[in-house]
């Protein structure tokens, strides 16, 4: 056999070949396209006379730094022919005057009629007989070299930018000024709370929701989280594709709380009675309206500049339940707050049968 053939088995993964291709491409015009090898190739790379051999069934053995090859691959690259031996355990490879006889799961083989020790045992993988490539190459008189080389991988293409998260920004105002410390929930169009998203406004009233999944949302100021403010909700918005949306400001309404009488308290049947409630910041006037529970008819209506009022109660009958409602407005008549809506609980009271 001619001895000019040279086989180099490089224990390099596909990344090595790609890195070599990249290095070569760096010296060529940018318009030159460098095509990588098949991405599924991850085993040893076989170079025959400096050229890459298209071999699929080749792998490194678990031990001994031996490259194992399916015996039928030797036939594909034109080194010889493979045939069945004189028993099911034997497989014969013929190349010119050389005959190699392998026995599955054995550490020896026949070179013509000479029994020779193998560097590693043969084995079956998926029904395919794997034999040591170094033994075959040297038996045929070829030069064989196995080198384990470091891999340097360079990618000149910048990595794709990470997807930008969706976001919602907004502001809560009272009397046109930002309010800090307001807890803002996020809800879907059905007013179901989106778990894990609760923002608190800063001193300027600004709040932010980050890393939102694509979808439709509303910002919601809930009295359960903010007992001094009415429920308020923003307009509906939709976010997707890494978009950040700024909502219109949410204008808050202050809740005023009963002081006198207490909620559900029974008051004496007197001609006049003092009603008192908590102050609403910025209020220029308060309007107190008293109705009988279940009716919208105003029995008492009184406007005052202070968070209290002395009113005649002659129209109120003992044994009935009444509702007191306060509205607070600024000097220009704009609504600032009131009593109804304090968690859905009205300011109710009754008149006792006797004086207290």
Q: What is the pLDDT of residues 146-200, one digit of tens each?
A: 887 777 778 788 888 777 789 999 999 999 999 999 999 999 999 999 999 999 9
Asked whether residue 53 is assigned to any structural domain, the reply reads yes
Task: Name, in order, each residue with C-beta under 8 angstroms of 215's C-beta and a sequence gap of 6 or more.
Answer: 188, 238, 239, 240
Residue 191 has a pLDDT of 94
Output the domain CATH number for residue 130: 3.30.457.10
For 2, 78, 283, the CA distances from 72, given in Å and listed in that order, are: 22, 10, 94
Are residues 171 and 272 part of one domain?
no
Asked whether residue 218 is assigned to any structural domain, the reply reads yes
Are residues 243 and 262 part of one domain?
no
Are residues 204 and 120 part of one domain?
no
Neighbours of 335 (CB within 10 A): 13
Which of 83, 114, 147 is the C-terminal boundary of a domain?
Answer: 147
What tens digit of pLDDT does each residue of 16-34 get?
Answer: 332 323 333 333 333 333 4
Are residues 142 and 10 part of one domain?
yes
Asked whether residue 124 is assigned to any structural domain, the reply reads yes
Are residues 132 and 212 part of one domain?
no
What tens digit of pLDDT does each residue of 319-344 get?
Answer: 899 999 999 999 999 999 999 754 56
Residue 208 has a pLDDT of 97
pLDDT category, 304, cuts 50, 70, 90? very high
Are residues 138 and 10 part of one domain?
yes
Output the domain CATH number for residue 291: 2.60.40.10
Asked whether residue 183 is assigned to any structural domain, the reply reads yes
Are residues 260 and 246 part of one domain?
no
Q: Is 183 exposed, middle or buried (0-12, 13-18, 19+ CB in 10 A)?
A: middle
Are residues 123 and 15 part of one domain?
yes
Rounded distance, CA 314 to CA 351, Å? 11
> Most confidently modeled of 26-40, 62-76, 131-145?
131-145
Q: What is the chain's mean pLDDT, rounded?
A: 86
Rounded distance, CA 173 to CA 182, Å? 10
Asked whether residue 159 is assigned to any structural domain, the reply reads no
Given a cut of 50, whether residue 121 has pLDDT beyond it is: yes
How many domains does the chain contain in total?
3
Are residues 129 and 24 part of one domain?
yes
Which of 117, 147, 177 is the C-terminal boundary of a domain?
Answer: 147
Cis peptide before 182 (omega within 30 of 0): no
CA dihedral 129, 134, 135, 136 (to 10 degrees): 70
Asked whether residue 227 is assigned to any structural domain, the reply reads yes
Are residues 286 and 247 part of one domain?
no
Asked whether residue 356 is assigned to any structural domain, the reply reads no
Are residues 125 and 45 part of one domain?
yes
The percent of residues in the chain predicted with pLDDT above 70, rounded, is 86
Residue 26 has a pLDDT of 35
What tens digit of pLDDT does each residue of 54-65 get?
Answer: 888 999 888 778
Tell me what the mean pLDDT of segment 130-139 comes to: 96
Structural domain span for residue 84: 6-147
Are residues 141 and 10 part of one domain?
yes
Which of 212, 227, 251 is the C-terminal boundary of a domain?
Answer: 251
- Give the global pTM: 0.54
Tell me what the mean pLDDT of segment 113-140 comes to: 95
Asked whether residue 187 is assigned to any structural domain, the reply reads yes
Tell me what the mean pLDDT of segment 228-246 comes to: 94
């Amino acid at each position: 056999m001619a001895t000019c053939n040279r086989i180099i088995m490089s224990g390099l993964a596909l990344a090595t070949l790609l890195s070599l291709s990249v290095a070569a491409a760096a010296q060529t015009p940018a318009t030159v396209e460098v095509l990588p090898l098949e991405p599924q190739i991850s085993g040893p790379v076989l170079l025959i006379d400096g050229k890459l051999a298209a071999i699929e069934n080749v792998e490194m053995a678990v031990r001994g730094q031996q490259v194992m090859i399916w015996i039928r691959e030797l036939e594909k690259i034109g080194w010889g022919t493979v045939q069945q031996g004189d028993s099911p355990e034997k497989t014969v490879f013929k190349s010119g005057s050389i005959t190699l006889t392998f026995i599955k799961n054995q550490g020896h083989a026949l070179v013509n009629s000479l029994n020779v020790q193998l560097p590693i045992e043969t084995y079956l993988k998926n029904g395919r007989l794997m034999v040591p490539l170094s033994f075959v190459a040297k038996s045929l008189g070829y030069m064989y070299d196995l080198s384990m080389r470091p891999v340097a991988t360079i990618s000149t293409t910048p990595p794709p930018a990470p997807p930008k998260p969706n976001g919602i920004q907004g502001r809560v105002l009272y009397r046109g000024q930002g309010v800090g410390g307001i807890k803002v929930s996020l809800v879907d169009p059905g007013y179901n709370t989106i778990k894990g998203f609760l923002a608190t406004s800063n001193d300027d009233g600004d709040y932010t929701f980050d890393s939102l999944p694509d979808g439709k949302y509303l910002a919601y100021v809930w009295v359960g989280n903010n007992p001094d403010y009415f429920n308020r909700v923003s307009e509906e918005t939709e976010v997707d594709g890494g978009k950040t949306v700024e909502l219109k400001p949410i204008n808050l309404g202050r809740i005023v709380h009963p002081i006198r009488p207490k909620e559900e308290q029974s008051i004496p049947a007197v001609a006049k009675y003092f009603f008192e409630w908590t102050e609403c910041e910025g209020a220029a006037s308060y309007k107190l309206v008293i109705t009988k529970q279940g009716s919208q008819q105003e029995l008492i209506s009184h406007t005052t500049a202070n968070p209290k009022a002395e009113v005649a109660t002659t129209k109120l009958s003992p044994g009935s339940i009444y509702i007191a409602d306060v509205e607070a407005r600024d000097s220009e008549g704009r609504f600032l707050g009131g009593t109804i809506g304090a968690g859905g609980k009205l300011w109710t009271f009754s008149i006792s049968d006797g004086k207290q």
